[in-house]
Chain A
Amino acid sequence: MMRNQKRRVLDAAIFLLAICMVAPIVSTFLDAFKNHGEYYKELLFECPDFYQTFWNSTVYATAITIVQLMIAVLCAFGMTQMQGWSRKLMLFLYIILMLMPLQVTLLPNYIGLRELDLLDTPWAIILPAIFQPTGVIILYQYLKTINTSIIDAAKLETKSIIRIVLVAVVPQIKAAMIAVSLYFFAESWNMLEAPMLFIKNERWQTLSVFISNTDKYDANIMYPAAVIFTIPVILFFLRFDCFIEEISSMGELV
């Protein structure tokens, strides 16, 4: 009886917390429809910069997701094939890199991009983002659980690493790859600091920066812009959430 009461109080507390977290999102959605949809009309028909930044974000997020996924799969597979201390060292370095806050890596990235003369180009956003360590760690954890006999069999057939990965590894980690892609896409779609620092030319700017720029744009159009901004990620999540559940249920997602 006492236990049931405790459970109810806990449920109520969690419910209140959830409401607090959801309230700003709901408020944004409701504010976007104020004034009989005039804000939507203004955003969609009177603000060409919105489309420019929307497609920039789409291209960046897609490119980063695809390339980062390819690199992460190869790196994770490479790490599983390492033996002894080298694997532990690599894993340690990856985890250290993963734990570093973004602000720590921003300056070295900025200097590197400046030296390569890539500032103010789309590469300034894409290149630093495709070498993030988080995906490698997640895929590495998942790769540890797969059937290695298929990989061993593939090794007997071919010496090409790419072929082994494509034939023996990728089919086994599809769920993890899709879940990680979703993470990569959301991460690159939402990124704000890197575009703000590395891109000054508005032609290459992202939607996240557009939404934060209330000096130049009417503040009212930011509500519908924020709603549209969330749609791609929500759609991808709803479409592929079964894969996240699948790998979460295995308890291997870090």
Chain B
Amino acid sequence: MRHMILNGVTIIFWICMLMLTFCSEDWHKKSLVHVQVGGVEKQYFPEEFVDESGEINAVMQRKLAISKKLYENGVFIIESFEKNGVERRRARKVDIVIGKEYEGYYEVEAGLSSKDQIVIDADRMLEDGGEVIVDE
């Protein structure tokens, strides 16, 4: 009886290890938030200035911008990090300073750079610092 139990436990142990070897990575990926990312957009914003004759003029200038919807939902950037020998990505919430609003966009004055990758869509609620899978 004791030997039968031990044989059973041994078989179960090796089967579990085999199953985890092949499935653990997929299970882990399924448990993570899948996100779509994009670069920080640049939009034209009207910029007023006073010319030599003293008249107020407006020109359109391209500046870093973020859509109102993204700003209201919270801005997350994607960071790379290494954990347990694997290169991973996580979403980090950033506080940005916004400027003017124009045609559904806010001008970004600080907090983002043109090189940042920001989350534009996620299949679940994002947590600050949580690991994510970036859908290419």
Contact = CB atoms under 8 A, between A and B. Distances in A.
Contacts of B24: 44-45, 48, 51
Interface string A216-246: 1110010000000001100110110000000
Interface residues of A, number: 21
A47 B84 CA distance: 6
Contacts of A46: 28, 83-84, 86
Interface string A36-75: 0000001011111101001100000000000000000000
B13 interface: yes
Task: Give the size range of B's interface with the partner.
Answer: 10 to 19
Contacts of B83: 46, 218
Contacts of A51: 17, 20-21, 24
Contact of B20 (A44, A221, A235): A44
Nearest to B25: A48
B3 interface: yes
B28 to A, nearest CB: 4
Contacts of B31: 45
Given A238-B6, A239-B3, A239-B7, A47 B13 contact: no
B13 A232 contact: yes
B15 to A, nearest CB: 13
Interface in B71-130: 83-86
A101 to B, nearest CB: 32
Interface in B4-25: 6-7, 9-10, 13, 17, 20-21, 24-25
Contacts, number: 49
Nearest to B31: A45
Q: Identify whether the interface residues of B are mostly helix, strand, loop, or mixed.
A: helix
Contacts of B25: 45, 48
Contacts of A49: 84-86
Contacts of B3: 239
Given A218-B84, A221-B84, A239-B10, A54 B28 contact: no
Contacts of A45: 24-25, 27-28, 31
Given A44-B20, A55-B21, A239-B3, A231 B86 contact: no
A194 B36 CA distance: 46
Contacts of B10: 235-236, 239
Interface in A194-214: 202
B123 to A, nearest CB: 19
Nearest to A213: B85
13 contacts: A44-B24, A46-B28, A47-B84, A47-B86, A51-B17, A51-B20, A51-B21, A54-B21, A216-B84, A217-B84, A235-B6, A239-B3, A239-B6
Given A235-B6, A236-B10, A238-B6, 14 more contacts: A44-B24, A45-B31, A47-B84, A47-B86, A48-B24, A49-B84, A51-B20, A202-B85, A216-B84, A217-B84, A218-B83, A231-B13, A232-B13, A239-B3
Interface of A: 42, 44-49, 51, 54-55, 202, 216-218, 221, 231-232, 235-236, 238-239
Interface of B: 3, 6-7, 9-10, 13, 17, 20-21, 24-25, 27-28, 31, 83-86
